[in-house]
Amino acid sequence: MNKSGFVFLMAVLAAFGAVVAPGVSSAQVDVNIEVRLPLPPLPPLPRFVFAAPPTVVVVPETYVYVVPDAEVDIVFYQGYWYRPHGERWYRSAGYNGPWKLLRAAQVPSTFGILPPGFRSVEPERERIPYQKVKKSWKQWEKERYWDSRRNGRDENGRHEGERHDRPGRAKGKGHDK
If pLDDT is split at 50, 70 and 90, which confidence band does 31 have? confident
Quick one: average pLDDT of 173-177? 39
**Residue 154: exposure state from Cβ atoms within 10 A (0-12, 13-18, ≥19):** middle
Element (H, E) at 22: helix 3-24
The amino acid at residue 59 is V
pTM, 2 dp: 0.61
Residue 98 has a pLDDT of: 94
If pLDDT is split at 50, 70 and 90, which confidence band does 163 have? very low
Residue 165 has a pLDDT of: 35
Q: What is the pLDDT of residues 88-145, one digit of tens each?
A: 999 999 999 999 999 999 999 999 888 888 877 777 788 999 999 999 999 999 998 9
Residue 156 has a pLDDT of: 46
Per-residue b/e over 13-46, b at no fewer than 16 CB within 10 Å? eeeeeeeeeeeeeeeeeeeeeeeeeeeeeeeeee
